[in-house]
Amino acid sequence: MGRGPLVATGFGANGMTRALFIAGTDTGIGKTHAACTVLHALRSMGRSACGMKPVASGCIDTPQGLRNDDALALLAASSTPQPSYGQINPIALREPLSPHLAAAHEGVTIALQPLQAAFAELSARYDTVVVEGVGGWRVPLALPGLFAADIAKSMALPVILVVGLRLGCLSHALLTAEAIQADGCQLIGWIGNRIDPQMAAVDENIGTLRTLLPAPCLGILPYGLAAERAASLLDRVAMGF
Ligand SMILES: Nc1ncnc2c1ncn2[C@@H]1O[C@H](COP(=O)(O)OP(=O)(O)OP(=O)(O)O)[C@@H](O)[C@H]1O
Ligand SMILES: [Mg+2]
């Protein structure tokens, strides 16, 4: 399954995408939904693919340990044989807070090294690893200066920005794209997610995003369409699949 070591940009020697980071304009706007859609798109092309949620807060206690809904959804959307839960979610925090606060409350120190180690294990087993961020791009992981963005930066992952299509998303999307690029990450494109079925002037807002965002639209995910079915709506060529 593995195709050798990752090159710096997350693309293999043949130009195929080997890893992606799924960023979002905010929390609760569809990063997990979009990441699962990307996983299904990869798998429908015969590629082995695995999700990863490096840091998750709001986990629940189970007999197997702390578990997070996002990580479980990514696991379910991953190729079989699936990885272990701990590989896809190395940092599982109980409280539904910003990770730096949940970690502090639980006496956990979030550092990049264990995340990178788990990512390397997954990269060796699957053609592509789809890494979901936590909250928005600048969510703190540890004070004074470790942020969600540093996961993507430290692993040199190409970034897809998921825009939750609702009132206010234009500024969130533009600022996030600006920050991704200012951090030296490659923004390969954006996915619009119809999180609000009542949103007014949707097509005009999507047109505005197409005009102003500095990367191509990779697809628009309709409201209420399951990830497996939405997979065909993604622009696989633009994603390097
Ligand atoms: N296209 C959609 N249609 C309908 N419901 C959606 C859609 N996208 C996401 N949702 C729902 O919205 C909620 C938030 O989506 P999701 O969990 O994917 O967001 P997220 O950005 O990953 O959130 P978090 O910051 O917690 O990781 C979920 O209940 C999900 O089922
Ligand atoms: Mg999520």
The answer, yes or no, to whether residue 14 has pLDDT greater than 80, is no
CA 178–ligand 2 middle distance (angstroms)? 22
- CATH tag for 19-55+71-83+115-233 (out of 3.40.50.300, 2.102.10.10, 3.40.50.620, 3.40.50.1980): 3.40.50.300
| CB contact at 8 A, 160 and 190 | yes
- Ligand 1: atom nearest CA of 56 is 27
pLDDT tens digits for range 148-181: 999 999 999 999 999 999 999 999 999 999 999 9
Give 3-state DSSP helix, strand, coil % of the chain, rounded to 5: 35, 20, 45
Other C-beta atoms within 10 Å of 212: how many? Answer: 11
C-beta of 145 in contact with ligand 1 (< 6 A): no
Residue 37, classified by CB atoms within 10 Å of its CB into exposed (0-12), middle (13-18) or buried (19+), is: buried
The CA-CA-CA angle for residues 139, 188, 234, to 5°, reads 105
**pLDDT surpasses 50 at 5:** no
**Could you report the per-residue pLDDT of 191-240, keeping only the tens digit for each?**
999 999 999 999 999 999 999 999 999 999 999 999 999 999 999 888 88
CA dihedral 82, 86, 89, 93 (to 10 degrees): 150
* Candidate from 22, 27, 33 with most ligand 1 atoms within 8 A of CB, to mutate: 33
In angstroms, the CA 202 to CA 167 distance is 9
Shortest-distance atom of ligand 1 to CA 36? 18
Ligand nearest to the CA of 162: 1
For ligand 1, is residue 33 a contact (CB within 6 Å)? Answer: yes
Q: Is the CB of 192 under 6 A from ligand 1?
A: no
Which atom of ligand 1 is the closest one to the Cα of 135? 25
Q: Is the pLDDT of residue 4 over 70?
A: no
Catalytic residues: 53
Query: What pLDDT was estimated at residue 239?
Result: 84
Percent of the chain whose predicted confidence (pLDDT) is above 90 = 90
Expressed in angstroms and rounded, the spacing between residue 148 Cα and the centre of ligand 2 is 13
Any ligand 1 atom below 6 A from CB of 59: no
Instruction: Give tens-digit pLDDT for 52-72.
Output: 999 999 999 999 999 999 999
CA–CA–CA angle 99, 31, 23 (5° rounding): 70
User: Closest ligand to 193 CA?
Assistant: 1
pLDDT at position 237 is 86
